[in-house]
């Protein structure tokens, strides 16, 4: 059995849709970072290539080995909705927004990616990981893996909260493609 220790990057304090926009994380809460670091095993660390994930991974790395950043672990690409608030998206594309978020699947934001395309990208990244790994990424990345582990709909997976600097743990028996995924812990913030 092996495990993925999924860490959401530090907070960005953005109040709009931030997918591929490269915002830094606020890593000023050193005590929270230390508690999270203490909750993680000695395992290789890999992160998305966006700066908020890279810097969070660096803050947590310590003596752990570091793998190259992986662009496949980026957040969902919101396309034309990048940087917009929900109210702005709703005013611009109300029907499409409902379709994208209420029935996530093959429909995508304008010039963005669908949930299914995004999830396949994330799965391709984790399929390359053998053994235990710490993956520092984004809320959507973690929720796409939660969906697979829980064997639930994308809509149900999107109903879970994944807080900044939280830990979600997924275990697997065998390889990622053949199943055997199990959710051990979700959205744990070490105290």
DSSP 131: S
Q: How far apart are CA 115 and CA 107, in angstroms?
A: 8
Low-confidence stretches of the chain (pLDDT beneath 50): none
Query: Which positions are annotated as active-site residues?
Result: 9, 75
Q: What confidence score (pLDDT) does residue 7 get? A: 98
Asked if 90 contacts 32 with a C-beta cutoff of 8 angstroms, the reply is no
CATH number of 63's domain:
3.40.50.1240
Domain count along the chain: 1
pTM: 0.95
Helix or strand or coil: residue 98?
Answer: helix
C-alpha distance from residue 49 to each of 72, 74, 83, 123 (Å): 8, 7, 19, 16
Q: What confidence score (pLDDT) does residue 39 get? A: 97
Q: What confidence score (pLDDT) does residue 180 get? A: 83
Q: How far apart are CA 143 and CA 49, in angstroms?
A: 18
Q: What confidence score (pLDDT) does residue 172 get? A: 87
Asked if 78 contacts 112 with a C-beta cutoff of 8 angstroms, the reply is yes
Look up the domain containing 13 and give its range: 2-188
Q: What confidence score (pLDDT) does residue 88 get? A: 97
Q: What confidence score (pLDDT) does residue 117 get? A: 98
């Amino acid at each position: 059995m092996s495990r993925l220790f999924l860490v959401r990057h530090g907070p960005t304090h953005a109040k709009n849709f931030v997918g591929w926009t490269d915002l830094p994380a606020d890593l000023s809460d050193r005590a929270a970072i230390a508690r999270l670091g203490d909750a993680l095993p000695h395992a290789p660390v890999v992160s998305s290539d966006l700066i908020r994930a890279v810097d969070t991974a660096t803050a947590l790395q310590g003596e752990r080995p570091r793998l190259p950043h992986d662009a496949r672990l980026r957040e969902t690409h919101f396309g034309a909705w990048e940087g917009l608030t929900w109210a702005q998206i709703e005013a611009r594309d109300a029907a499409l927004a409902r379709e994208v978020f209420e029935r996530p699947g093959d429909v995508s934001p304008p010039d963005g990616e669908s949930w299914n395309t995004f999830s396949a990208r994330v799965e391709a990244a984790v399929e390359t990981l053998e053994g235990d790994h710490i993956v520092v990424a984004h809320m959507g990345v973690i929720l796409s893996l939660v969906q697979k582990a829980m064997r639930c709909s994308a809509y149900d997976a999107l109903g879970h909260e994944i807080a900044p600097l939280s830990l979600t743990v997924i275990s697997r028996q065998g390889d990622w493609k053949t199943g055997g995924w199990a959710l051990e812990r979700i959205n744990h913030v070490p105290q």
